[in-house]
Structure 1
Amino acid sequence: MTKLTELREMSDEQLQATATEAAESLFRLRFQSQSERLNTPSEIKKNRKTIARVKTIQTERQLAAQKS
């Protein structure tokens, strides 16, 4: 899981790549959870939180750009 400070230091492109990677991983985990037993069910929660953190940072940056 990526820490918030690490996410804030990333560029916009890196943030988007991180969000895309987490979303793809979440999709695979959800699919796997329906078809078989997961080894680490907590990974679903971690990916959801990572996506939420990235979206929050992206929104903060958009709002800061609008104020400027």
Structure 2
Amino acid sequence: MKNADIRALSLEELNQQVKTEKANGQTLRFAHAISPLENPIRLKQSRKNVARLLTELTRRENEQANNTAN
């Protein structure tokens, strides 16, 4: 998921995507522990997607806090 796609999501959609990506990452980790994945890079991509989503959530929270403070 690209940053432009993430910025286009609503707050609810962001929260839903975070939950989905975390669940997906956990499933990948369990599958990788049992038998190696064909593409272990997917683990890294999943972690990065979660980080991107959480970063956007934090950015929006800070932006909203700055707007209410002014």
TM-score class normalised by the smaller sequence: over 0.9
**Match of residue 52 from structure 2:** 53
How many pairs align? 67
**Match of residue 24 from structure 2:** 25
What stretches of structure 1 of length at least 5 have no aligned partner?
Answer: none
> Rg bigger for which structure?
2
What stretches of structure 2 of length at least 5 have no aligned partner?
Answer: none
In 2: Cα distance, 1:37 partner to 1:47 partner: 16
Is it true that 1:35 corresponds to 2:57 in the alignment? no
- Superposed CA deviations along residues 13-51 of structure 1, whole A, max 9, x for unmatched, are 111111111100100111111111211101101110000
RMSD: 0.6
User: TM-score, structure 2 length as denominator?
Assistant: 0.91
In 2: Cα distance, 1:7 partner to 1:60 partner: 12
In 2: Cα distance, 1:52 partner to 1:31 partner: 20
**Match of residue 9 from structure 1:** 8
Structure 1 segments of 4+ aligned residues over 6 angstroms from their partners: none
In 2: Cα distance, 1:21 partner to 1:45 partner: 15
